Amino acid sequence: MSNSEITVSLRMSRELRDRLDVLAQATRRSKSFLALEAVTRYVENEEEIIAGIIEGQAQIKAGLSIEHAEVMANVSAIIAEAAKSKLKSKPKSKPK
């Protein structure tokens, strides 16, 4: 272990430990390796989420946001226009 690494203990259910054992055996990896990989992925994911929240808050503060009602009105208009276009382009059926 290098000087930059530390040891961390954690509690888990027996069921989770057993599942980790099975996974470790199947992948020929240590439980420590798999736990470190899981924690690393979790931290990276959470960092990405928090960064997105912070960016969104900054955009709102800078006035770069649109009210929900305005967005929904725009979406409704786009859907209505698409429906009109679809009706115009629909081939007329011949009478029988």
Domain that residue 74 falls in? 14-88
Q: Is residue 94 part of a domain?
A: no
pLDDT in tens, 31-77: 999 999 999 999 999 999 999 999 999 999 999 999 999 999 999 99
Q: Is residue 4 part of a domain?
A: no
pLDDT at position 1 is 58
Per-residue three-class SS string for 24-89: HHHHCCCHHHHHHHHHHHHHHHHHHHHHHHHHHHHHHHCCCCCCHHHHHHHHHHHHHHHHHHHHHH
Q: How many domains does the chain have?
A: 1
The whole-model pTM stands at 0.66
**Residue range 1-20: average pLDDT?**
91
Which tokens is 87 given?
A: 């009706």
Q: Is residue 2 part of a domain?
A: no
pLDDT at position 3 is 75
Q: Is residue 73 part of a domain?
A: yes
